């Protein structure tokens, strides 16, 4: 019986059938209430249901049953706002709940985002949590959020141990069920990340060990299975593909990404198994019992943490969070997964996590300046302020682990290269840090390495220390006479002191040691006074077989020819820093506000001005810090002036002349140096890259095609030069999609675009004509689809810029853009702004668009309130010669939806009965027949024919779903 309920529940969830869930919930409640055993429980103000389980098969079946959907004749118990329904599962013996000790909460949040998997929308989770846990009257945060950016178990353990006990640990990641290897039961695992970015399969015992004695009072495992991903070309992040017709667009449409990136069946074993095992050690464990929409997860998290931060018990806050998901459903959000949250209670669980009557946590210490070097010249982001850069850190760790002795991090000014070096040093815990900055001659490099070496020798006796000092004195004198001797001195240290205590030597802001870039110079080279010292140190690290590593940071990539003409810089591992994405920009802003204890002030800043500041900075962390610093200080007018200055530069290329904060950035970056370095040919190549949408990496061959059309006879050298200068962002090799081969991608840096040649409309269109076929070859899959993400939007914009785009390409790009903008993100105006001109271009080319595209646009026009456009698009779709019977019926279903929404119930009912339903019956599609009959019942109910509507639901619709 328990297993039967569970199986039927899984099928009902997969079919999105609340009617079937109600039937199961009523059966479960009737079973519990045999002989009215529940007595007065059903009428109590708070109906607590504690399911106690162990490891026996019966206990596991009890724990796995979907108690959250218990229902009576009125509906789900969870929907009753007057009588709260609080179900939870207890593991182990009941004991007194732990008492809270503060009035506010402390949370540690970590997301794992493996490159090979669909990224979870964890940034939306962070935003939802922060917004929900503010005091509505004062804006003061009721939750202290600590975000761990690494995705690594070891680093998580260090953060947990070093910052006091957290009330909540929120883990957002993928997971799996793995065989035990010894014929035991399967083991649930979390898919976290290694230091190098690989997959770390973490079983519950490793997670418990990493947390140590300071276990959180609540562990929220926002984890899901990854082994049942949907088809890449037909279903990505829950979105329908072009060839699925309108089955999902009109009636059965999956409108939002799930937490498992498109799994169509529920896999609750992961969450249940993890939560059951973890709750042996923790007071509370909360997890998802299956695939969950991102929108549902965010709505749930907002309400959950809002309740917890106001002193509600975990069970009570969980019940309130279910209500919030139901409320979101009433407002048009998916809301179908309100019942999938599973709460497990372990030792010390059952009570609230904070109490408003207690004192708050001590305030954070005032944010102080953090520096990379001991001389305090290199200001860097603190651990609390640092966000993102996960992939770059992982690549550096991979390269160093693979045997690279030295690496170069480069990119345009203020992208955070020094801060990245600081975080790398944090992660390389077994290495001592040495930093060279400002002076790059041999004695400066040797002096810094000697300083760190002496720290490693503190335990030596007087005689050994004296001998070392004598050797260092001789080496220093030798380097003073001849800088070439630095090679021997550095190698001596690497193979001596640093063989036991490896060093990470950071040579920061290396562009100060390089010549100014000049036209037609492929790469800059070191100045005469630094060339020999840099060659010596790079060669010494390459020659010494130790674990010590060298990291160089520079605005430019560089070359370093030796006497034999070999480029000593060729062997450096390279990491190009690129601008932060929109989510990371907001995270940087919030992290800065938290680090300075100004979250309340940050909440009062006008959203429009904050958005302008982050958009103007274009993902440059240093510029964003400059533009938002006055906002945190309440200097709104100064911030407005600085933002306007940067906006003016990006629009015109003119540098600011008025005295404001933006001048600080322009003085640091010195765009004049870049401008003097560019040839006319390179400006044209930069213009070719600038024809594409911002913030979307573009296949290099598409940019090269556009450059060639503009007259760049050999595009590759020009593109290489722009990449070396950091004016083009190097995104490395990225896959098109659907497992296609990886190709090099790049993008014009947003702050470098004003340096590009200004193209007249005819040249702009000609460049788009040349680039579009290459873009399509790189990004379209075997079935012709563009990716359903920002790349689809970029492709559509490029196609609309072109003179005569190939109709199939334009249609595919428009479809991808609509799926991303409207279907996934609900931005109807933006989708229509691209798609309507695309339809006009297709009509001019006598090309009938895919009816599926038109069907989505009908819904978009409805959401945007464009009634006339909605009718026009539907008429166009129904007049298409590309319709088959199924799609025509589904379009008619859309028309019936429109008529019903406008109150024309008779016409809607006629279409349902006479035109739509007969098609599905002829096709033998029982599911669509049942759904259409259910919609007929909805119309009858709206007309007041309740008996007939109820009969249809009971006799014709519900049995099919069950």
pLDDT of residue 742: 87
Name 903's Cβ contacts closer than 8 Å, sequence gap at least 6. none
Q: Which of 251, 186, 29, 211 is nearest to 108 (CA)?
A: 211
- 309: Cβ contacts below 8 Å, ≥ 6 apart: 104, 105, 132, 133, 142, 143, 354
Q: What pLDDT, on a 0 to 100 scale, did the predictor assign at position 704?
A: 98
DSSP 4-55: HHHHHHHHHHHTT-HHHHHHHHHHHHHHHTGGGTTGGGGGSSEEEEEEEE-S
d(CA 283, CA 96) in angstroms, rounded, equals 11
Three-state secondary-structure class, residue 585: helix
What is the 3-state secondary structure of 871-925?
Answer: HHHHHHHHCCCCCCHHHHHHHHHHHHHHHHHCCCHHHHHHHHHHHHHHHHHHHCC
* Cα of 795 vs its chain's centroid, Å: 22
Give the DSSP letter of residue 164. Answer: -
Strand partners, 524: 558
Burial 111-136 (b: 16+ CB within 10 A, else e): bbbbeebbebbbbbbbbbbbebbbee
- Please tell me the distance from the alpha carbon of residue 863 to that of residue 830, in angstroms, as a whole number: 12
Question: Within the chain, which residues score under 70 in pLDDT?
Answer: 115-125, 127-128, 137-139, 180-184, 224-272, 329-335, 363-369, 459-462, 600, 736-740
Measured between its terminal Cα atoms, the distance across the chain in Å is: 15
- Report the C-alpha gap between 929 and 956 in whole angstroms: 9
Q: Are the CB atoms for 781 and 739 separated by under 8 Å?
A: no
Report the distance separating Cα 903 and Cα 909, nearest Å.
Answer: 11
Question: Does residue 403 contact residue 420 with C-beta atoms inside 8 Å?
Answer: no
Per-residue confidence (pLDDT) for residue 252, from 0 to 100: 34
- Helix ranges (H only) for 289-412 are 294-309, 314-330, 390-401
Cα distances (angstroms) measured from residue 161 to each of 108, 277, 542, 560: 11, 22, 37, 45
Strands 284-288 and 341-345: antiparallel
Contacts of 58 (CB under 8 A, 6+ apart): 2
In this structure, is the dihedral angle defined by the CA atoms of residues 487, 489, 490 and 493, taken in order, positive or negative? positive
Report pLDDT for 752: 95
**Helix (H) or strand (E) run with residue 446 in it:** helix 442-456
Sign, CA dihedral 192-196-198-200, equals negative
The pLDDT value given to residue 463 = 72
Neighbours of 350 (CB within 10 A): 21
pLDDT for the residue 736: 66
At residue 587, the pLDDT reads 84
- pLDDT for position 740: 62
């Amino acid at each position: 019986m328990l297993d039967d309920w569970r199986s039927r529940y899984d099928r009902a969830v997969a079919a999105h059938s609340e009617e079937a869930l109600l039937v199961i919930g009523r059966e479960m409640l009737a079973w519990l209430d045999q002989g009215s055993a529940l007595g007065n429980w059903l009428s109590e103000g708070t109906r607590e249901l504690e399911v106690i389980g162990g490891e026996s098969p019966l206990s596991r079946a009890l724990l796995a049953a979907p108690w959250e959907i218990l229902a009576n004749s009125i509906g789900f118990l969870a929907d009753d706002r007057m009588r709260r329904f609080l179900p939870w599962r207890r593991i182990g013996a009941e004991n007194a709940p732990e008492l809270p000790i503060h009035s506010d909460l402390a949370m540690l949040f970590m997301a794992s985002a493996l490159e090979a998997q669909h990224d979870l929308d964890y940034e939306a989770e962070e935003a939802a949590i922060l917004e929900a846990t503010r005091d509505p009257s004062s804006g003061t945060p009721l939750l202290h959020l600590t975000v761990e950016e690494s995705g690594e178990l070891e680093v998580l353990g260090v953060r947990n141990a070093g910052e006091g006990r957290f009330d909540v640990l929120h883990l957002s990641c993928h997971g799996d069920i793995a065989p035990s290897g010894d014929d035991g039961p399967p083991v649930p695992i979390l898919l976290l990340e290694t230091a190098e970015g690989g997959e770390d399969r973490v079983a519950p015992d490793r997670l418990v060990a990493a947390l140590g004695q300071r276990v959180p009072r609540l562990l929220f495992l926002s984890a899901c299975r990854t082994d049942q991903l949907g088809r890449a070309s037909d279903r990505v992040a829950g979105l329908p593909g072009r060839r699925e017709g309108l089955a999902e667009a009109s009636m059965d449409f999956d409108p939002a990404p799930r937490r498992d990136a498109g799994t169509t069946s529920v896999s609750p074993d992961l969450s249940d198994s993890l939560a059951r095992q973890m709750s042996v050690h923790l007071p509370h464990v909360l997890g998802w019992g299956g695939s969950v929409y991102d929108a549902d997860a965010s709505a749930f998290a907002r309400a959950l943490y809002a309740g917890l931060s106001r002193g509600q018990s975990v069970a009570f806050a969980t019940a309130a969070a279910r209500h919030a998901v139901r409320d979101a459903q009433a407002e048009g959000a998916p809301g179908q997964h309100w019942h999938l949250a599973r709460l497990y209670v372990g030792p010390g669980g059952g009570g609230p996590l904070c109490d408003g009557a207690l004192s708050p946590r001590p305030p954070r210490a005032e944010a102080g300046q953090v520096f990379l070097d001991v001389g305090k010249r290199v200001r860097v982001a603190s651990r609390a302020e640092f966000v993102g850069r996960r992939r770059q850190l992982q690549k550096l760790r991979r390269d160093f682990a693979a045997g690279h002795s030295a690496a170069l991090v480069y990119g345009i000014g203020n992208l955070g290269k020094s801060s990245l070096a600081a975080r790398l040093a944090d992660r390389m815990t077994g290495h001592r840090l040495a930093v060279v900055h400002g002076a790059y001659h041999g004695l400066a490099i040797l002096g810094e390495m000697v300083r760190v070496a002496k720290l490693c020798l503190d335990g030596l006796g007087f005689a050994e220390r004296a001998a070392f000092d004598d050797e260092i004195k001789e080496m220093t004198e030798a380097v003073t006479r001849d800088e070439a001797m630095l090679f021997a001195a550095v190698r001596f240290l690497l193979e001596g002191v640093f063989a036991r205590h490896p060093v990470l030597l950071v040579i920061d802001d290396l562009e100060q040691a390089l010549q100014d870039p000049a036209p037609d110079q492929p790469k800059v080279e070191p100045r005469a006074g630094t060339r020999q010292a840099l060659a010596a140190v790079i060669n010494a690290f390459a020659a010494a077989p130790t674990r010590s590593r060298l990291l160089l940071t520079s605005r430019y990539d560089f070359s370093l020819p030796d006497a034999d003409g070999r480029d000593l810089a060729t062997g450096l591992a390279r990491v190009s820093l690129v601008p932060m994405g929109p989510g990371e920009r907001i995270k940087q802003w919030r992290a800065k506000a938290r680090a300075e204890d100004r979250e309340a002030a940050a909440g009062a800043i006008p959203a429009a001005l904050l958005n302008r500041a982050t958009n103007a900075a274009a993902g440059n962390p240093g510029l964003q810090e400059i533009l938002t610093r006055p906002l945190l200080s309440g200097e709104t007018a100064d911030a407005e002036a600085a933002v306007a200055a940067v906006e003016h530069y990006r629009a015109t290329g003119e540098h600011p002349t008025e005295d404001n904060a933006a001048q600080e950035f322009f003085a640091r970056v010195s765009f004049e140096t870049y401008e003097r370095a560019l040839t006319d040919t390179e400006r044209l190549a930069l213009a070719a890259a600038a024809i594409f949408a911002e913030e979307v990496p573009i296949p290099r061959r598409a940019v090269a095609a556009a450059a060639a059309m503009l007259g760049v006879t050999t595009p590759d050298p020009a593109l290489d030069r722009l990449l070396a200068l950091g004016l083009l962002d190097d995104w490395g090799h990225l896959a098109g999609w659907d497992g296609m081969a990886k190709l090099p991608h790049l993008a014009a840096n947003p702050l470098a675009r004003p340096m590009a040649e200004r193209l007249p409309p005819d040249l702009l269109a000609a460049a788009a004509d040349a680039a579009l076929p290459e873009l399509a070859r790189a990004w379209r899959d075997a079935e012709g689809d563009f990716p359903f993400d920002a790349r689809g939007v970029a492709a559509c914009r490029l196609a609309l810029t072109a003179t005569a785009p190939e109709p199939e390409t334009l249609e595919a790009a428009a479809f991808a853009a609509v799926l991303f903008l409207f279907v996934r993100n609900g931005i109807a105006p933006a989708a229509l702004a691209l798609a309507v001109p695309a339809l006009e271009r297709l009509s001019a080319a006598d090309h009938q668009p895919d009816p599926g595209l038109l069907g989505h646009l009908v819904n978009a026009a409805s959401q945007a309130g464009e009634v006339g456009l909605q009718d026009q698009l539907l008429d166009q779709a129904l007049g298409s010669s590309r319709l088959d019977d199924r799609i025509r019926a589904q379009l008619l279903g859309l028309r019936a939806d429109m008529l019903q929404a406008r109150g024309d119930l008779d016409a809607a009912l006629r279409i349902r009965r006479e035109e739509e339903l007969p098609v599905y019956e002829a096709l033998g599609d029982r599911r669509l027949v049942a759904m259409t009959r259910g919609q007929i019942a909805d119309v009858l109910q709206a007309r007041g024919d309740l008996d007939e509507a109820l009969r249809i639901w009971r006799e014709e619709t519900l049995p099919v779903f069950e």
